[in-house]
Amino acid sequence: MFLVAALLSVAANRAIYRRPPSQGLRHYRYESSQMVGGRSANGYRMDFDLEYSGGAVYAIVRNSFTFDGTWQPVEPDADCRAAMHGDKDSLARVKLSPLQPDVARSLGAAFLPLCAPPGIFFPVTDILNVALIPTPHFRATELTQVGQSLPCAGFHAAFDRAGVTMRESSPACEISLVSLDRRNAAVDWKPALADLQLVKNVNGHSVTLAGTEHFAFESVVDRRTGELERARTAYDDLDLKIVGAPDTVPHVRITRTVTIEPLSE
């Protein structure tokens, strides 16, 4: 019995934060901005909750705004709101984890109904990445000491919705424990350079952009509860070329910044 207790104690000491997270609800603000050619282009702001319940994680969208020169509220119609499992206090309730592999790859109607506006769909995809980082999916639960890095699996994703067709793949990634104190653990997820193709409708014409995305996220986890504390992009740089355009046409260079910070009760 003593040996069993000792082994359990060693296992517990090796865990850098609680898994699975304790059940509960935490409140956050998501903000993102996009710079194209060094100039501010657009962005999103969303207040949301992460609900940890029965081993699953859900994002509950309380409100959302898009920025394109001015901030405008996202207001889905009543039918779409109901399809997204929203209620009088929320716009949507989206399951983030666990997801079936085909749902995670396609991000289609099984993930979030196709009526979801861009101001809900795109922020939720960032929140999905952040929610997955501390899980065994990317081997974060195997990290035990600051400075340690482990290889992890790449990803393949594709979707056709919200006015955009996207295909992206990365062959591998690296997960690292960047800091650890009595309260929090900070974990970096760094995919290898990803191949990216986007098809967008611009003034009634289909425009295809192809190139690369180089990005990384940092998630800070509350060690006591296993819940997300905050998150941000370490970097997110896109280098795209308009397919079919002459070589003299400059590349489209985009920089994205994402932050997720806790909101007070």
| 8-state DSSP, 147 | T
5 versus 253: which is more confidently predicted? 253
For residue 13, pLDDT beyond 60: no
pLDDT per position as a tens digit, 106-123: 999 999 999 999 999 999
Contact of 177 with 166, CB cutoff 8 Å: no
Secondary structure of 27-59 in HEC code, one letter for each residue: EEEEEEEEEECCEEEEEEEEEEEEEEECCEEEE
CA atoms of 19 and 225, how far apart (whole Å): 8
pLDDT band at 91 (very low <50, low <70, confident <90, very high): very high
User: Buried (b) or exposed (e) across 224-255, using 16+ Cβ within 10 A?
Assistant: ebbbbbbbbbeebebebbbeeeeeeeeebebb
pLDDT digits (tens, 9 = 90+) for 67-86: 988 999 999 999 999 999 99
The neighbour count for residue 164, using CB atoms within 10 Å, is 14
What confidence category does residue 12 fall into, taking pLDDT thresholds of 50, 70 and 90? very low
Per the prediction, the chain carries an average pLDDT of 92
pLDDT at 222: 97
As a whole number of Å, the CA-based R_g of the chain is: 20
pLDDT band at 4 (very low <50, low <70, confident <90, very high): very low
CATH topology of domain 17-262: Lipovitellin-phosvitin complex; beta-sheet shell regions (2.30.230)
**Dihedral (Cα; 48, 97, 121, 63), 10-degree rounding:** -10
Q: Is pLDDT at 10 greater than 70 in this prediction?
A: no
Reported as a single tens digit per residue, the pLDDT across 25-69 is 999 999 999 999 888 889 999 999 999 998 899 999 999 999 988
Percent of the chain with pLDDT over 70: 94
In this predicted model, what pLDDT tens digit does every residue of 177-223 receive, in sequence order? 999 999 999 999 999 999 999 999 888 889 999 999 999 999 999 99
Question: Residue 53: is it exposed, middle or buried by C-beta count within 10 angstroms (0-12/13-18/19+)?
Answer: exposed
Give the pLDDT of residue 265: 63
Measured from the Cβ of residue 62, the count of other Cβ atoms closer than 10 Å reads 17
Give the integer Cα–Cα distance in Å for 229 and 220: 5
Helices (H) and strands (E) in the chain, counts: 4, 12
pLDDT for 6: 33
In the chain, where the domains are located = 17-262
Span 147-169, pLDDT tens digits: 999 999 999 999 998 889 999 99
Q: Quick check: 11 pLDDT over 50?
A: no
